[in-house]
Structure 1
């Protein structure tokens, strides 16, 4: 039996190299559950086909993995699917872990950050494609999108929130692609999601964003998102949810679920219960390298004193271990000010990357990026997996019915 690690070593799968896109094609092909029809796709894969490992004839077969006899020696291998999904702005795979646990099979992933791609590949055996605009820019036809992005039941995306206006172009005109992609709005990544939705028509959209999305730009951003999704024929349900009863972190986010079948009466799960204490996820023995320096600790205290006197700005507070942590954000690696753990007879310390993983509900077998700063950024940008799982479970029952 061939191990995935053997393939990785043979083809030197290192996403820091310029071959990242080709490696994305290869690893997506290895994950493919059925025949890949697009000849351009197969041509890219053939660059990495070796007759002693993968016969080119297997490219013509719908169930090549049975012949390849591949062992996925990664923490989260592909699963037998009850439904399919794509993972956009994938980060390190928070959506993917939750949806695979529910029986979903990922058929396409995209993430532009190189370090996040490395973490994703280490855990799933798949190199994500890079910039989603490689598949959605206005130079690419609907037919090409249809061929290059597999059919899927669910589109998952924790998309970046950027300021945008319709700039005089109505939602209906934009969705008709008459000229909307030629103006300044082409820079907004939400429009790339819409382009895929317009062509592929998945059964459901599962989106996540920051708490303030609802009030962003005086409500215009959220209204535009809702309007444009409805223009495509989808329902639009949303809820702001705090994760603190599922993980020991106060992480409040906006979740949106949109069904193509508008007759579906979707309800978000009731997420309640006592907030979980931070102490539950702390490691017993933590290296001294995570203790902040005298200079940094004094700087935190000095800034806090000045800000308190003027009545605004950051004030450092040591974490209360009996309560959830503050929200972990991407900048946490810089100075740890969002959550400093008190230590007896010592300066406070930062959370370790593994503790940050636990705050987001990542399993213990999840492989961390070897760079602490990259790991902190990745968990700060991630989703709370137990929240995604609970919402996904309510979505799943409708996918099964469909």
Structure 2
């Protein structure tokens, strides 16, 4: 905040927002919004949807019968996770796996998910728990949502790492839409042309073509 405000001169606001209203995952992150000049944007006054009305895991999970058996924990790994959790519970610690059903909201997906999936394990009736599939991770992070399909063209390990390091897309969209009228007003005040719904392509002397977004 010191660098953004005092060294770079931005008018900055910040707020912690959880992803629960948009996806079935409790993922709290700090979002920072900065404008070069003062605006009427008020981050604290921005009305975030009620998390209680948010989606549940059943809305993003694939049917168990369609999920490759490789995502089901092996007997050895499942036993290890149970023993590990029991050991720490005996010491009064909260370490261990987390198990979720279709009506739950998952905990935060992390980049280490590829190791054992222990932070978000999915219940399977009559069987051992399973990991989320990469597609389910894409849905849990809001990449694959509504009519927007998301192609996953990397290994499961890389997909888990990348989704775990990402931000939840609809949360960013929510903040961006709240900023949009203030950005447009700032651009109009600056005297620069405002082009809505297009990306004008301009050529600058001594440079290649560059895209400028209004």
Q: What TM-score do you get using the length of structure 2 for normalisation?
A: 0.79
The residue correspondences of 1:4-83 to structure 2 (distance < 5 A) are none
Aligned residues: 176
Q: For 1:246 and 1:342, locate their aligned partners in 2 and report how far apart those are by CA, in whole Å.
A: 22
The residue correspondences of 1:3-402 to structure 2 (distance < 5 A) are 226-231=1-6, 232-262=8-38, 264-268=39-43, 269-273=46-50, 274=52, 275-284=54-63, 285-363=66-144, 364-402=148-186
Deviation per CA, 1:93-113: give whole Å up to 9, x if none.
xxxxxxxxxxxxxxxxxxxxx
Instruction: Verify the 8 A CA contact 1:361 1:384 in the aligned structure 2.
Output: yes
Q: Quote the offset at 1:277 in angstroms.
A: 0.8
Instruction: Verify the 8 A CA contact 2:40 2:182 in the aligned structure 1.
Output: no
Q: Quote the offset at 1:343 in angstroms.
A: 0.8
Instruction: Verify the 8 A CA contact 1:267 1:394 in the aligned structure 2.
Output: no
RMSD across aligned C-alpha pairs, in angstroms? 1.2
Q: For 2:154 and 2:36, locate their aligned partners in 1 and report how far apart those are by CA, in whole Å.
A: 41
Deviation per CA, 1:339-359: give whole Å up to 9, x if none.
111112211000000000001
Deviation per CA, 1:28-80: give whole Å up to 9, x if none.
xxxxxxxxxxxxxxxxxxxxxxxxxxxxxxxxxxxxxxxxxxxxxxxxxxxxx
Q: Which has the higher contact order (CA 8 A, sep 6+)?
A: 2
3-state SS in 2 of match to 1:369: coil
Return 5+ residue gaps in structure 2 as ranges: 187-214
Q: Quote the offset at 1:313 in angstroms.
A: 4.4
Q: What TM-score do you get using the length of structure 1 for normalisation?
A: 0.43
Return 5+ residue gaps in structure 1 as ranges: 1-225
The structure whose residues are more often helix, as a share, is 1
Instruction: Verify the 8 A CA contact 2:99 2:120 in the aligned structure 1.
Output: yes
Instruction: Verify the 8 A CA contact 2:23 2:140 in the aligned structure 1.
Output: yes
Q: Quote the offset at 1:246 in angstroms.
A: 0.6
Q: For 1:241 and 1:317, locate their aligned partners in 2 and report how far apart those are by CA, in whole Å.
A: 22
Q: For 1:251 and 1:296, locate their aligned partners in 2 and report how far apart those are by CA, in whole Å.
A: 26
Q: Quote the offset at 1:399 in angstroms.
A: 1.6
3-state SS in 1 of match to 2:31: strand
The corresponding residue for 1:145 is none
